[in-house]
Structure 1
């Protein structure tokens, strides 16, 4: 399926059976309809759908990829190896949410079809095996741990497992930000207070859902685009129309932070950060940000500390502020392992990539252990 709009949203979301905003039909539809995927983006929709007696029983977000941008599970070295041997690595198949390193369902089975899960996994793996006659590989990125186990035990494919590391903040029933600070060592607590003091003269305005007018979206997008342009030489992967559609379709999930100076209205904010909230699973996601002026401490404040305060104030149990960034550890974010699975069509490359994955897993386990020792909480001293 090359156009998710041809799938009724209610049927897709019934299979996903999750409040994760990134796997919902609306998020993927907004990506496609805004031109953020498709065209020359490197992401060509190729979604997999399974029906049983005319009922949609399983869905998989799937894309044909002509490069490896926007995946956050890096395989550039694999592509280089293929190129050195004169073998095409692209196109490949990727099951992921474009530009979104967030764990979630990839093969989603309708709750009523769970009794047939084993047969569905076997059928889907058979379809992927056929597809690997024309694609170099299949990559299931940021899989739920339970789904990863299901794939490994039920799929009729040789699957190589990779592990990665992100840093998430967990709410230990903190009553306030000060309560969170009290759990840290004195030195780390003082460091955070010092960082926040640099930008406390600014004004931070939160907007949610339908309260985000088009003018505020335009200001956010301007900040986002200018920051991408400065750092990457392009205006960002996502279009302004994507954010407008997101605000309309996922209004219940969207939280927008605008940063202003004295007497400056939100429409003239000079920095902004966009969050998405899953209130049923009590998870806050920090996703996109931008600024028109670089200020020391502003990124940490807008993307981390304001998010922490919001999570505590509204009772979120987890704050996922995005991929990578070991600098988060000293600010109370804990290492979390992520998982992905990879099917390689060419047998001559499979052994080398399997060895690479094994070494990478060992390195990541050591890395996570080291990061845990660096956590700033009093009990970690």
Structure 2
């Protein structure tokens, strides 16, 4: 994210956000929501409406409402592209945000044309939003998450021999690591924002786990395991970026060239960009895959929405249970019915006949 302005790097430390966030960077309080926050709430509210319709047995209306929700969700991500590109200077997040709109619109199209199984994925997104958005928009929860994460990150720094102290960041929270700019290499520091709490990743897995039908005990074990791993990895990531930025761990010429000449960032911001935008984000992808595998081993039911994610991305059907060596989805009869339903829809489409979903 963009650095805070500093009159002189030697006397006033510039500060970078430590973040991999997905929601609006504007502190959102009730009555003062940013436009992207409003669009997010509308999308999630529509997902919840679709979930309620499906629960009541109105499956066809649920598909159309869910399709509308996916369309709004895609617009939300498109709205964040300028932020990821201009402020975060994050190529990865910019590309993902750009890809989100066509993928969401394609998901909406699949729902409208009869892919009922996508209602489960839509339900998962509804739960994700219900976990994340209140934390994003309720001030007391937001403050507690940010300041607790900052304190825990500072404790991690102390374990490695650094104790800069905490001071107020640009957003008003006690979340900035108060390194002395005259004693560090770059004169910069970082401060924690909402996205640094790991709540985004927690919401993803929480939504998937909440959406599937499975015994409560296994769902609780899967949720606890995922949250625990995310918490540890997220704090480690914050400590890494929080130390790399002021101490200039990546101020080598090749990285300086990439950050300043290619990305247009100040030279002093190089270590932050390398640590955050390249190393941490790349490792985050691997971490998410690893956590997904852990959750799947405990709760194979989450394979069902994941198979639909892969179908949206590739257009091909996958049997993840077979690929991962699972014996099959618990309640295999339901899974067989879902596959039969897909085949029936495809067969009707091929023969030109109308299905009950049309």
TM-score by length of 2: 0.26
Between Structure 1 and Structure 2, the one with more strand by share is: 1
TM-score by length of 1: 0.25
